[in-house]
Amino acid sequence: NFNFRPYFYEAMESGDSAIYFALGLMSGVRGLYFSHPVRDEGGQIIGVVAVKVLVHELESQWDRPTGLREAEMVVLDHNGISFLASRQDWLYRNFSGMADAVPDEYSRRRYPGRDLTPMALKTLGTPWGLLEQSATVRIQDSGKPREYLSVSTPLPRMDWTLQVMVSTRSVVWTRLGFAVGGAALFFGGLLTWLYLRERYRREAELALRGEQLERSVAERTADLENSNRKLVEEIRERERTQTELRETQQELIQAAKLAVLGQMSAGLNHEMNQPLTAIQTYARNSRRFLEKGAGEMVDANLSEIILLCDKMAELTRQFKVFARKSEGPPAVVDLRQPIDASLKIIVAQQSSSEIDIQWHRPDSPVMCHGDLIRIEQVMVNLMANAVQAVEGGARPEIRIDIEETEQHWKCLVRDNGPGLQGDTEQIFEPFFTTKSVKQGLGLGLSISRQIVDALGGSLTGRNRRDGPGAEFVVTLKKREAME
């Protein structure tokens, strides 16, 4: 949290750029902070962007051998604390001239971990003929007093002061030269002129550096604004891409629904063929019973035909089930009923007359979560596949059992045919079949698995472990598990 830094709250309050010098809270490295407010599209200030520029390069330009030092430079803040200096032992010292000066809380927060001890400095007065910013000072340097001619210059736009201190030893020797002769007076004036010219040159140089610094800040601010505009454009482009992605996903969902409807329409003919065969068988038997005068048998066959027609109507009604996501709240079904109804359809077929169909029907109800018509559709598919698998066998046999687990009922349909070939999961793919076109389109198992999945159960197929043939397991949730 940097809200106590002046470069932060000044930019937030004024809405303009700010400049501040301090030590980094985490790194402890000195730097010049340039900050600028960040605004949203409505012009409200939402934050501050700050750039830190290190000052080591500037000090390295001031660093010279001790024997060649005739002038020293320090940059002071408004409390007189030096944060830039040509000498390392003058850094973070109090140049206010008060020996008992105690740093305030602002300075301690600005320069954490620094002693900020006062400098042993005494002002001797302003030399005649010089500006008010100039003064002669005496500094205890390594236990020895040294006098400097100090020139203080405030820096524009900042509460800093640049103080240049030139040693006065050369001036002393010049004065001695003046006492020797008139020639020394000439050289003294020349030295003074050279000194003033150098001072003005340095002031101009500092002013030029200040202007360069301002231009650099303006250029970096423009770069930040350009980057901000590019970022806004990228965000808008990403939003447009996300909108197109959502529309594409909706189109894919609709295409998937249409594909499933196509599978159901192709499979409806497959499912209608079996009850139509049974109706045809009942009709032929009824004609024979009429010839014999067995009216009761004819009436029973016609009742079965009516029931089969009703069930065919129910099968066609299921055509729209797969066009929506849910069928509403779950229903409770006695699993024995759809198995009984499926057996009536299968037994009515001529191909099942020589097959031993064993239905181990439980005595008590088998209540599960499902739908009567759709479970019957699944059982008809599984039994019809089993009948086709055992056709032509020596002792064709189909077994139907119900097993109970803790939370599910399992209906097992077993046959003693040749079994499944290859990958057993592939048989549930649409239009995959090993039969002829007359026997089916390869959609029965695919539709059956979709039905069972929609009911919250599962349909699996595998080869039997206790003998030849295949077994299919329909797993449905118990009524107690749903509650």
Enumerate the β-bridge partners of residue 474: 411, 459
- Taking only the tens place, the pLDDT of each residue in 320-352 is 443 444 444 558 899 999 898 888 777 756 566
Looking at 141-150, 266-275, 322-331, which range is the least confident one? 322-331
Q: Are 15 and 40 in contact (CB under 8 A)?
A: no
The count of other CB atoms within 10 Å of the CB of residue 262 is 12
User: Which pLDDT band, with edges at 50, 70 and 90, does 101 fall under?
Assistant: low
Whether the predicted pLDDT of 149 surpasses 90? no
Quote the pLDDT of residue 81.
87
How far does CA 239 lie from the centroid of its chain? 15
Name which of 264, 304, 260, 269 is nearest 285 in CA terms. 304
Name which of 441, 385, 442 is nearest 414 in CA terms. 385
Q: Are 48 and 38 in contact (CB under 8 A)?
A: yes
Quote the pLDDT of residue 79.
83
Name which of 159, 157, 162 is nearest 218 in CA terms. 157
State mean pLDDT over 221-228. 90
- Give me the chain's average pLDDT, please: 79
Strands 397-404 and 356-359: parallel
Strands, E, within 61-184: which ranges?
A: 71-76, 82-85, 121-125, 134-141, 144-154, 161-167
State mean pLDDT over 195-219. 90
* Residue 374: both structure tokens together: 């759709």
Whether the predicted pLDDT of 26 surpasses 80? no
Q: Which H helix or E strand runs over 375?
A: helix 372-390
Name which of 466, 460, 319, 476 is nearest 402 in CA terms. 476
User: Which pLDDT band, with edges at 50, 70 and 90, does 245 fall under?
Assistant: confident
Domains of the chain: 6-54 (3.30.450.20), 63-225 (3.30.450.20), 330-483 (3.30.565.10)
- How many CA atoms, within 13 angstroms, populate the side-chain half-sphere of residue 316? 9
- Return d(Cα 165, Cα 436) in angstroms, integer: 107
- Taking only the tens place, the pLDDT of each residue in 290-319 is 888 888 888 888 888 888 888 777 656 544
Quote the pLDDT of residue 267.
45
Whether the predicted pLDDT of 427 surpasses 70? yes
Q: Which residue has the higher pLDDT, 297 or 106?
A: 297
State mean pLDDT over 180-187. 84
User: Which pLDDT band, with edges at 50, 70 and 90, does 285 fall under?
Assistant: confident
Q: Which H helix or E strand runs over 398?
A: strand 397-404
